[in-house]
Amino acid sequence: MMIRSPMATTLALACLAAAFPAAADETEPHDITATGMTAWRAEHGQWVDVGAVRMAPDNPKLLLTTDGQGVLVNGATGRTSNLFSQLEHGDVRLHVEFMVPQGSNSGVYLQGRYEVQILDSWRVEKPKHGDRGGIYQRWANGKGFEGHPPRINAARPPGAWQTFDIVFRAPRFDADGKKTANAQFVKVMHNGVIVHENVEVTGPTRAAAFSDEKPRGPLMLQGDHGPVAYRNLRLEAM
> What is the identity of the amino acid at 184?
Q
How far is it, in rounded angstroms, from Cα 150 to Cα 88? 26
Residue 30: its pLDDT value, please? Answer: 86
- Tell me whether strands 229-237 and 30-31 are parallel, antiparallel or unpaired: antiparallel
- Answer yes or no: are the C-beta atoms of 94 and 230 closer than 8 Å: no
> What is the identity of the amino acid at 186?
V
Residues pairing with 190 in the sheet = 164, 193
pLDDT exceeds 70 at position 19: no
Residue 7: its pLDDT value, please? Answer: 41
pLDDT in tens, 69-117: 999 999 999 999 999 999 999 999 999 999 999 999 999 999 999 999 9
pLDDT in tens, 2-16: 334 444 434 333 433
CA distances (Å), 225 to each of 51, 228, 233, in order?
22, 9, 20
Return the CATH number of the domain spanning residue range 26-237: 2.60.120.560
Residue extents of the structural domains in the chain: 26-237
How far is it, in rounded angstroms, from Cα 110 to Cα 115? 6
